[in-house]
Chain A
Amino acid sequence: MTRVNVTVNGRAREIDVEPAKLLVHAVREDLGLTGTHVGCLTGDCGACTVRIDGATVKSCSVLAVSAEGAQITTVEGLAGPGGLHPVQQAFWDEFGFQCGYCLPGMLLTACELLEDDPDPTDEAITLAVNGNLCRCTGYHAVKRSIRCAADRMREGS
């Protein structure tokens, strides 16, 4: 077992993990944050996406021990005391998900995109979610949700 110190959704956490443990399993099992999902374990589907020091990462492709000292954001860390994050709100209003299994990855990917580029082109939105598979929506409402979130966030700022 190896001790790993991370800050998860703003809270310092200390976990002991096997050196070969994937970050996604540590997040779900040791940190108890089951909003991050396992879809493939081959880095293809994006359901396990989390943010490490701001950058989206497929947490099935990262060892838990390599996250030592990192700031991790999971889907549970998006909503604030004032309610849902504007990206979450837009996905709800615009039907950006159905079953919700790919949703954590879509939300975190959208947040990263809009922080980097508050007014993304349609192509940029498409490119951002190209690494996230969704079998329910056909991506139409996903892209519409991100556009809606971008518009609202710019109006709000």
Chain B
Amino acid sequence: MTSIGTSARKADGEVLLTGRGRFVDDHVLPGMRHAAIVRSDRAHARITGVDTSAAERAPGVELVLTGDQAARHTGPIPHFIDPAARGGRRAEVRCLAVGKVVHAGQAVAAVVARTRREAEAAALLVEVGYAPLPHVLDADEALLPDAPRLYEEWPDNVILHNHYGTGDVDAALAGADLVVTETVRIGRTTTAPIEPRGYLASWDRFDESLTVYGSVQNPHQLRWMLARSLDLDETRIRVVTARVGGSFGLKMQGHPEETLICLLSRLTEAPVKWIEDRRECFLSGAREQVHRVTVGATNDGRIVAVRDRIVANAGAVTAQPGWAMPNMSATTLASGYLVPNVEAELHVVATNKPPLNAARGFGKDGAHFVMERIVDLVARGLGADPAHVRRVNLIPAGRFPFRTATGLNIDSGDFPGLLDKALKALEYDTLRARQRELRDRGRYLGIGLAFELTPESADGPGTFVSGFDVTTVRMNMSGGVTVLTGVTSPGGGNDTAIAQIVSDELGVPLGWIQVVQGDTDRCPSGFGNFSGRGMVVGGGSAALAARDVRAKLAVVGARMLGVAPEEAEVTGGVVRVAAEPERSVAVPDVAAAVLTRAFAVASEVEPVLEATRAFKPGNIDHVPDERGRIQPYPTYSNCLHAAVVEVDPETGVTTLADFVMVHDCGVVINPALVEGQAHGAIVMGLGAALTEQLSYDDEGRLLTDRFKSYLLPRAGDLPEVRLEHQVTPSPFTMYGNKGAGEAGVGGAQAAVANAVEDALAPFGVTVTQVPLPAPVVLDLIERATAK
């Protein structure tokens, strides 16, 4: 093994650096047309009429399509994660609104024209008549009996109502020395990749087939969904994931435009491209939750019970998987802590805000924020150091696999070890002394700790969230290797790391290997990108396939060398005699022999230099235990975050002074790629903690529709983020690797919230929400000091 564990540079580096990376908007097809979408400016209204006549007369326009017309050609879009599979409610989701709209920004009509400018101009001429209906934007209000209802066929606005956890919370609270109750709120954020979504659909009227280029994470799921909504056979659809410019969950499937753009191509019999603009991109929410928490602890700092009543605002229902994220906010409680009694009640609520789509963290971030606030509230209530309370409650290293009260079976870890490393990196005691010193001078430094447990590589029974994947390793006559895999990469570089695995397992140089992803006509059926699964199941299946091909090379190579197969090894592009390394034959010569001397030296083997294998990791178990708990994750990455902030109580401005993350994702295949993703996730969490929030007016119209009002962290907003590794191998994956890429968001957000509260301890402030922009901090100080 030489490549695994090294920081091989990104395989697509030169292509991207020289401007040759072909993103979806860079694809141009002959006769291509452009689409623009007419969107509702009402949060909830009946559509009384759509007048397309002026738009149809506009220059360059070829088609104007209304919801009623679209419904004649397309069926409902199937759910990526069917709420019914989780005991929830479905809604009929269409590519254009039919009858009524349920959120501002919903697609109502579409225009196809020769150019994008012409399509956009004509879209402004479409006149939609609305009869307003009462709307509801707040999830608590949407739960009231007299709240406006989004879907007439539902008895209320609840997508899913569920209970999680085990133990006797009432009894534990009754016996606790300290009981704390608090309500904490997580603001609505969004993923905001720098490349928005986009699709280019091309209907071939001669053989009645459809090719779709898209900035998508899940090409095979999209093919299935399009087959259903367009009533086409799956064999007639090819989805090609163009290079993806970041996604973070946004580009998981179920967006109405996927079906819509394909329909427009079919109707116009021309290739049709649609690229989302930034304003449209900001419509997708990532999270918005309220947690009403009661926690009990003993005087020695042990947390004995957690009760959390969660209300999650999912916005309007779509086919995208985002509605399911709050499930994980509930089941990830009580994170990596030894809390025996946990009770979570979850309401996922539909409102007239735009829908959620998946977002890095997938709801686990909500659990981290709440749990880490809980630990600090307990520490404060007991007058104990937050680091001490964490140490008392973190699951000790010797207790794995550990089944949590909500059913997760954590595979492995050394959580106190993370804490030790983080405190050392901070020079915690010195920093506390400095904090006291600064406070005496009227400066408010705060230190926030946060543990983060990231269940990865999920499998949801009966949904498209699959916990395995499939890879083909194919060697050509020259010894070159094509790896075709079902996992995709939105930019993080798992293609490079998969090539590293194949290089080691097959025994050929990295440069011989090309990885192909995201093409349903070329790659085996797989499930794309989500849940930190790329290396767990993409890497695992690539290893198995590479071993099969290697075995064949060893047999034929050994025969060419005149030794027994078990005496031969494949390494560095040669088959050689293990005991006499100078006796070797080049892999390309062996490959040529397999394919051209199949009745001579290769007569003992089936002449196929190709293998397709699936990897199913261990530890997933969908048979409910005696308490009804299932176990959807093979492995659990974990990390500990430490944020140091300084808060100016005069202005409310929080400045990040230092940030440390100690990360354990098991065995690391490519350290630089993993670190890069961790940095990105941390900064996404820092944004969610301090500046990022989607805001709407009273009519449900998005106010934060550009980067001037939705504030992503910029380079100048950030300290030098420091990263340390700890390696606790998973017993359930191919190399002991755990998922990477998601960890960072929830912990960073929580650590900053805890740090702000710590900074403002002299004022008695309790942080009850994120984000914490200056006006919110000033308000918290004012409320605390007014008491």
Contact partners of A127 in chain B: CB under 8 A:
716
Q: Provided the pairs A135-B192, A135-B680 are in contact, do residues A42 and B707 lie with their beta carbons within 8 angstroms? A: yes
- B706 near A33 (CB under 8 angstroms)? no
* Partner among A28, A35, A39, A74 whose Cβ is within 8 Å of the Cβ of B194: A39
B18 touches A35 (CB 8 A): yes
**Would you call A44 and B679 a contact (CB within 8 A)?**
no
Q: In the complex, A153 Cα to B296 Cα: how many Å?
A: 60
A76 interfacial contact with B, CB 8 Å: yes
Interface string of B251-278 (1 = CB under 8 A from A): 0000000000000000000000001011
B398 interfacial by beta-carbon distance below 8 Å: no
In the complex, identify which listed stretch (A63-71, A88-96, A113-121) lies at the interface while the others stay far away.
Answer: A88-96
B721 and A99: CB pair below 8 A? no
A82 to B20, CA, bound (A): 18
> Considering the chains assembled together, what is the distance between the CA atoms of A97 and B19 in angstroms?
13
Q: A57 near B: Cβ within 8 Å?
A: no
Q: Is A51 an interface residue (CB 8 A)?
A: no
Which residues of the partner chain B approach A102 to less than 8 Å between Cβ atoms?
194
Name the distance in Å between A123's Cβ and chain B's nearest Cβ: 9
| Chain A residues numbered 12-50 whose CB sits less than 8 Å from any CB in chain B | 28, 33-42, 44-45, 47
Report how far A104 CA is from B655 CA in the complex, Å.
Answer: 29
In angstroms, Cα B248 to Cα A2, docked, is: 41
- CB contacts (< 8 Å) of B712 on chain A: these are 133, 135
Tell me if B50 counts as interface (CB < 8 A to partner A).
no
Q: Which listed residue, B278, B676, B708, touches A98 by the CB 8 Å rule?
A: B676
> B443 an interface residue at 8 Å Cβ cutoff?
no
**In whole angstroms, how far apart are the Cα atoms of A28 and B24 in the complex?**
13
Residues of A within 8 A of B25 (CB): 28, 34, 37-38
A3 CB-CB contact with B under 8 Å: no
Number of contact residues on B: which range applies?
35 or more
Chain B min CB distance to A41 (Å): 7
Which residues of B are found within 8 Å of A140, using beta-carbon distances? 676, 679, 720-721
- Closest chain A residue to B116 by CB distance? A25
Q: Smallest Cβ distance from A130 to chain B, in angstroms?
A: 4
Does the CB pair B718–A138 fall under 8 Å?
A: yes
| B707 and A84 form a contact (CB under 8 A) | no
Q: Which of A37, A97, A126 contacts B195 (CB 8 A)?
A: A37
Whether B714 pairs with A88 at a CB distance below 8 angstroms is no
Whether B708 and A44, one on each chain, are in contact in the complex, defined by CB atoms closer than 8 angstroms, is yes
Contacts A42-B278, A126-B715, A133-B714 given; indicate if A95 touches B246 (C-beta within 8 A): no
Q: Are B193 and A99 in contact (CB under 8 A)?
A: yes
Interface size, chain A (Cβ < 8 Å): 51
Chain A nearest Cβ from B111, distance in angstroms: 19
- Asked whether A130 and B716 contact (CB < 8 A) given A35-B18, A100-B12, A103-B16, the answer is yes
In the complex, B14 has a CB within 8 A of chain A: yes
Looking at the complex, which of B75-83, B146-154, B334-342, B486-494 is the stretch in contact with chain A? B486-494
Chain A residues with Cβ under 8 A from B23's Cβ?
Answer: 34, 37, 101
List of A residues within 8 angstroms of B10 by Cβ = 92, 95, 97-98
B209 to chain A, nearest CB (A): 26
Residues of A contacting B16 with CB < 8 Å? 97, 100, 103
- A84-B17 contact, Cβ under 8 Å, with A98-B491, A129-B715: yes
Q: Which chain A residues lie closer than 8 Å to B676 at the CB level?
A: 95, 98, 136-137, 140-141
Interface of B is mostly: loop
When distances are taken between beta carbons in the complex, the residues of chain B under 8 Å from A34 are: 19, 22-23, 25-26
Contacting pair A130 B715 (CB below 8 A):
yes
Give Cα A140–Cα B676 distance, bound, in whole angstroms: 8
- The answer to whether B246 and A101 touch across the interface, beta carbons within 8 angstroms, is yes
> Smallest CB-CB separation from A131: which chain B residue?
B714
Once bound together, how far apart are the Cα atoms of A72 and B297, in whole Å? Answer: 65
B242 to chain A, nearest CB (A): 12
A84 B491 Cβ-Cβ under 8 A: no
Q: Please, which residues of chain B bring their CB within 8 A of the CB of A78?
A: 17-18
Q: How far is the CA of A129 from the CA of B713 in the complex (A)?
A: 12
Query: A75's closest neighbor in chain B, by CB?
Result: B19
A6 CB within 8 Å of chain B: no
Distance between Cα atoms of A102 and B196 in the complex (Å)? 12
B17 and A92: CB pair below 8 A? yes
Cα(A143)–Cα(B713), bound, Å: 15
Residues of A within 8 A of B21 (CB): 35, 100
A138 touches B721 (CB 8 A): yes
B7 touches A95 (CB 8 A): yes
Beyond A39-B195, A126-B715, A140-B679, whether A99 also contacts B19 by CB under 8 A is no
Among A98, A130, A133, the residue within 8 A (CB) of B680 is A98
Main secondary structure of the interface of A (DSSP, over half): loop
By the criterion CB–CB under 8 Å, are A136 and B19 in contact?
no
With CB as the reference atom, state the residue of chain B lying closest to A42: B706
Min Cβ gap B245→A in Å is 3
Known: A40-B707, A44-B707. A88 touches B18 (CB 8 A): yes
Complex Cα–Cα for A118 and B433 (A):
40
Across the interface, name the chain B residue whose C-beta is closest to A46: B194
Distance A133 CA – B246 CA, assembled complex (angstroms): 12
Determine which of A40, A42, A74, A99 lies in contact with B245 in the assembled complex, contact meaning CB atoms within 8 Å. Answer: A99
Contacts of B562 in A (CB 8 A): none
Residue of A nearest to B679 (CB): A138
Residue ID in chain A nearest B12 by CB atoms: A100
Closest Cβ of chain B: how far from A92's Cβ, in Å? 4
Taking the closest CB of chain B, its distance from the CB of A63, in whole angstroms, is: 14
A98 CB to nearest chain B CB (Å): 4
A141 neighbours in B (Cβ, 8 Å): 676, 679
* A107 interfacial by beta-carbon distance below 8 Å: yes
Residue of A nearest to B278 (CB): A40
Please determine whether A45 and B18 come into contact, CB atoms closer than 8 angstroms: no
Q: B708's contact among A42, A97, A136, by CB below 8 Å, is which? A: A42
Bound complex: CA A139 to CA B675 (Å) = 12
CB of A134 within 8 A of chain B?
Answer: yes
Complex CA gap A101/B683 in Å reads 18
Chain A: which residue is nearest B360 at the CB level?
A135
Contact status B245-A95, CB under 8 Å: no
Knowing A39-B278, A98-B493, A98-B676, the reply to whether A79 touches B245 (Cβ < 8 A) is: no
Query: Closest CB-CB distance, B687 to chain A, in whole Å?
Result: 9
Q: Which of B193, B492, B673 contacts A101 (CB 8 A)?
A: B193
Q: Is the CB of A135 within 8 A of B248?
A: yes
Which A-chain residue is minimally distant from B685 (CB atoms)? A138
Contact A135/B707 with A95-B676, A141-B679 known, Cβ cut-off 8 Å: no
How does the 8 Å CB contact mask read for B6-40 relative to A, with 1 for contact and 0 for none?
Answer: 01011011101111111101100000000000000
Judge whether A33 and B682 touch: CB under 8 Å.
Answer: no
Whether the pair A139, B718 counts as a contact (CB closer than 8 A) is yes
Looking at the assembled complex, report how far the CB atom of B676 sits from the nearest CB atom of chain A, in whole angstroms: 5
Contact status of A91 and B17, CB under 8 A, knowing A98-B677, A134-B194: yes
**Given A95-B10, A130-B715, A138-B683, are A35 and B19 neighbors across the interface (CB < 8 Å)?**
yes
**Quick check: A101 and B715 within 8 Å, CB to CB?**
no
CB of B243 closer than 8 Å to a CB of A: yes
B17 lies within 8 A of A98 (CB): no
Q: Which of B194, B243, B490, B708 contacts A47 (CB 8 A)?
A: B194
Q: Which residues on the A side are within 8 Å of B19 (C-beta)?
A: 33-36, 74-76, 104
The reply to whether the CB of B684 lies closer than 8 angstroms to some CB of chain A is yes
Q: Contacting B706 at CB < 8 Å: which of A40, A91, A136, A139?
A: A40
In the complex, A37 Cα to B26 Cα: how many Å?
9
Beta-carbon contact of B246 and A98 below 8 Å: yes
> Using Cβ atoms and an 8 Å threshold, which residues of chain B touch A75?
17-19
Could you show 6 A-B contacts with beta carbons less than 8 Å apart?
A: A35-B18, A39-B196, A41-B278, A75-B17, A135-B192, A139-B718
Q: A95-B675, A139-B683 are in contact. List 9 more A-B contacts (CB 8 A).
A: A41-B278, A44-B708, A93-B9, A99-B243, A100-B17, A101-B193, A133-B194, A138-B713, A140-B676
The 10 A-B pairs with the shortest beta carbon distances in the complex, nearest first, are A35-B19, A99-B491, A101-B245, A100-B16, A138-B683, A44-B707, A138-B679, A34-B26, A75-B19, A139-B715
